[in-house]
Amino acid sequence: MKKAPETRGTGGEIHQTAGGKTARMTTQQGIPVSDDQNSLKQGARGPTLMEDFHFREKMFHFDHERIPERVVHARGYGAHGYFETYDPIPELTRADLFQRKGEKTEAFVRFSTVAGNKGSADLARDVRGFAVKLYTQEGNWDIVGNNIPVFFIQDAMKFPDLIHAAKQEPDRGFPQAQTAHDNFWDFISLMPESTHMVMWIMSDRAIPRSFRFMEGFGVHTFRMVNAEGKSTFVKFHWKPKQGLQSVTWPEALKINGADPDFHRRDLWDAIQMGDFPEWELGLQVFDDDFADQFEFDILDATKIIPEEQVPVQRVGRLVLDRMVDNFFAETEQVAFHTGNVVPGIDFTNDPLLQGRNFSYLDTQLKRLGSPNFTHLPVNAPRCPFHTLQQDGHMAMTNPKTRANYEPNSWGEDIGGPREDPEGGFRSHPEENAGPKTRDRSETFADHYSQARQFYISQTEVEQRHMADALVFELSKVETPAIRTRMMSHLVNVHDELASAVAEGLGMDLPDAAEPAMAVRTDLPESPALSILKNGPESFAGRKLGILISDGADASALKALIDAAKGAGAAPMVVGPRVGAVKLSDGTTTEADERIDGGPSVLFDATAILVSDEGAEMLAGMHAAKTWVSDAWAHGKYILCSPEAGPLLQAAGLPHDPGEGVARTGDTAPEEFLKQATALRVWNRAP
């Protein structure tokens, strides 16, 4: 077993050849590799150097592994919209879109999962991509982020290894869109820097209820630069205006079976109904003094800056109001790139960001087949653009000039575009010095303290879900040594968590892994890290499932539907058939879903409006009993008519259902929907 120092990243077991000798890692040219953990930098915290041929070859080969779908983030869904600036912030940045109040900038957003292929299900436990393309008047700016603000690794050198480990195992081709297998946890358990991210992906953040109800993050620390050249550090946040919400794991499993396109359908339905999703762009802004005093390194992508330390300043809103005209032409062919920034936005020396900036063009060339992918409408800037680049596969435009080179002495009309020293993009003149070395800064070495902070910031319910998720994932790991190794990291995070997971796995707690730095236990709770502490303020944007039968009270149904629409929610009627259901006043209504096609897991709250005969009939239907029992078991709020008793009894609900179950005669629809804003009655949820 060979292990590199903690501050340089960790290595795993060296591969053994059939003869028992250690195989020496080389490049594809046969050149021996001295360090496969860290890219070549100018100083431990300096920029990544282009001459790093090993990193270049490794990333180049990784980027060209798949065609035509994306290697990662293959399953995605996109929509058009706009970004509206609140107030100008010229003191922070010269970026054009932030100079005028009320400025509207066209936007395209693509949400995605990471590990699954294009045909995988939406509710996989996974990170969600949250990529925003802003078509500004000074070019395209891409904020290519996730719904989780940290990442697994600190150096882009390890990205191919991470994805290889997470994807289906190469000898058997499964599991698909799952991390509950040996390879993933083998890699993670050998990379202590991943521990913080493990806490996030084992939380309910990895199974969001909707794209509309999840946060987005730029992940890295960037720079904003104003017209005077003053630089300020910044982290980007997208805050959903309808609050945070996730599903439970049992629900995720059922939803994937009932509707594997659940997230896609939800976004489509919301926009088609005019319930346009909105997020606010928030900035965490801080200077060099804060960066020097902060407990961790701001260039470390496995760390956050708690919002309680640096509040999020909201500077505009993102609205999605139009679906694509063609999924392939737009959502599949859109090309995002962290290197697409506009004047006033700049990079830092975050080694993961530096590697991403280098990698994306290779990916796009392989996937889209031409350097002219920027000619595709979804990728083309909306502002005027002029280059001297020409020809190439599928060139749609070429320079209309005599000169295709620069400098040239031809006049303005035929000489082509000229550089703009004043208005053009200028990199912040950061000074860097240091020896060329494959190394990692000592300031990146604390792998457990923020993982612990994330855990203690969750509610008791969320902590229980994290422990359950770890038990489930690690129970699928067949190699005991991998489980033990992972448990040794959890001991460093929190005794309570480690003990709960060990009990669930039926194993003894191992000794704690040796930390490179002492674990800090003084970091305070951060309420911003909890989903349940940041839920919705109303039932707007949610879905109400209404189970009905023949003879259901027509006036009660109308009142409930009207109240739901008035609250900004989407009512959906579920019946024993999708054809006409006859109501108490002799009128009929069409059901939106049949019972077995519209299970209660698809809804945020439920109602049961049935007649005496209807309740008896539904009580004999397995799908109807499951509809009610799932709503109960998953902690959903339930409004039911007095006649529903036999169905509730057949579904196994207690005689006194208690909190969260109301009767139509006792609770007005508006009051029920107000109560349902809490979304769950957690003391009866699994």
DSSP string, 164-186: HHHS--TTT---SS---SHHHHH
Rg over CA atoms, the chain: 27
**Residue reference for tokens 């066209």:** 106
Evaluate whether 487 touches 502 at the Cβ level (below 8 Å).
yes
Q: Does residue 629 sit in helix, strand or coil?
A: helix
Evaluate whether 344 touches 95 at the Cβ level (below 8 Å).
yes
CA pseudo-torsion sign 116, 120, 123, 124: negative
Backbone dihedral region for residue 324 (phi beyond 0: left; psi -120 to 50: alpha; all else: beta): beta
Q: Check if 140 is active-site.
A: no
| DSSP code at position 138 | T
56-to-40, 349, 358, 611 alpha-carbon distances in Å: 10, 17, 8, 69
Given the residues 73, 80, 337, 494, the one annotated as active site: 73
d(CA 68, CA 368): 8
Q: Is the peptide bond before 192 cis (omega within 30 degrees of 0)?
A: no
d(CA 268, CA 248): 22
d(CA 127, CA 526): 21
Contacts of residue 622, Cβ cutoff 8 Å, sequence gap at least 6: none
| DSSP code at position 602 | G
DSSP string, 401-428: SS--SSS----HHHH-----TTTS----
Evaluate whether 511 touches 492 at the Cβ level (below 8 Å).
no
d(CA 651, CA 629): 5
Reported as type and span, the H/E element at residue 590 is strand 588-590
CA pseudo-torsion sign 305, 307, 310, 314: positive
| DSSP code at position 520 | P
Given the residues 38, 54, 80, 146, the one annotated as active site: 146
- For the chain, the residue count is 686
| DSSP code at position 128 | E
Q: Check if 80 is active-site.
A: no
Catalogue the active-site residues. Answer: 73, 146
